[in-house]
Structure 1
Amino acid sequence: MSAYSQQPALLDPLPLSPPKKEDELPVALQDIVTAAITEEVLGTVLERHVQAHKPKEPRVVALTADSISIYYLQPVREYWYLPLKQTHTIRIAPLLPVLPVDASETETAKWVAEIKDRITRFTETKDAPVDRFIPPNHWGDWSGVAVFMGFTLLIAAYLLGVGVVEQFVFTTERRFNIAVAVHCGVLIKRSKDVNEMKDLLDKHWSGDSKGRYLWVITSWIEGWRAVSRLRREIARLNLLIAAAEEETAKGTKKESKKKR
């Protein structure tokens, strides 16, 4: 097990709410920060941490010590999945500098430059290796498992001739056919989730084959919930790695100063 996965989940990446209007940066400052950070960098943050798909016109609307809020336009993929206008707040590590309320023009320029440097370095953090399987850990996860497995078992029981199911659940052949059609549709959607899971595992998995199989199996059963859980773990480890790299860089700077 890696050192990163052993550390406590002090940096929890999700969920974070979009900022309130009063917490947003002044529009002029939004323009300055957004212009300083390249669109490519902001796009990378969105794609890696909120699964945005080729985001357009990203704009920094708020900053705190441990997060960045980005507004962007999402090209249409699936209306029910990502509407056009999006604002997401993403956890950042290590902590960002906070601009004083009465900052001068010089202080503001220095702050913007440091924000640009920190966010850029954050996107350059190497993809985190995941080496453990995380089972369903929320009632929503378990309810999804129960519904899918229950539905599957009812169909299997009917096909095996279990009288109770035929008598009280699928009382007509038409009702059974509708259930099978719905279940097939769910499985088609699950296949997309499984493919996404396999892509993530190919990129990030460093554990044993048992853990990998468990991730794939749960993606068949849970679908997007399992994929989301893996993405959350990757994001958490990325935060830990980014924080550790910053501490290492600080230590190196101190050592170089001592030698001088």
Structure 2
Amino acid sequence: MILDRFRINDAVAVVTGAGRGIGAATAVALAEAGADVVLAARTKDQLDEVAARVAGAGRTAHVVPADLSDPANAAALADAAMDTFGRLDVVVNNVGGTFPCPLTDTSTEFLEEAFRFNVSTAHALTRAAAPAMLRSGGGAVVNVSSVMGRVSGRGFLAYGTAKGALAHYTRLAAADLAPRIRVNAVAVGSVATSALEVVVNNPELRERMEAATPLRRIGEPEEVAATILYLCSPAGGYVTGKVLEVDGGQQAPNLDLGLPDLT
């Protein structure tokens, strides 16, 4: 049956930023599709809650509380998977983000920090995971980029630059790691996660954002997780080096931060 192609029975996955939002939804989706999961994020209590959901799906979770802004901690997750489960098949580089900031307030250090958190961490884990994946017969990497990596809006210079770099990193890494390791990305739009709470909980802001989104709503973490599962599974087995846009049809930012013209 076609749905069997979305199964990843007995695979082992690493998911970063797995304590909440897209990372948590992805970890649970991968478990429901048959995978054991290494869960990594800063907050152990959140990871333990996700681990319980993984167990509820009949799979095993290994919790790794870590500051993933340090690329060395991200790279160490490959060994954690091998030490715990003896194999590694899937990596989801979900951790990332940064605060909006006008260009004139964006220091070089802030820009470099955004790049490190969104790109260097993904590279560190992907590089560390590749030998383990090859020993396991191959695998799939999915990077979580953003619509702001391809559209322009005031206040998103550091974030958009980093996510745009991550999208192209995906294409380049796919070329280097083919044919046994596939590398893809999702470019995410406005999704109902903690990062968007200020909008979701403000009816006026939410209405403005939804009105500026072609599908007229904010996305759900599970919708992104379903796309990631597709890219990790045999269903996406002939896809590599691609960035799938999961953004409600956005062609422009759907929330104006109100930054004024420079004078």
- Normalising TM by the smaller chain, what interval? under 0.3
Greater share of helix: 1
Given the two structures, how large is their TM-score scaled by the length of structure 2?
0.26
Larger radius of gyration: 1
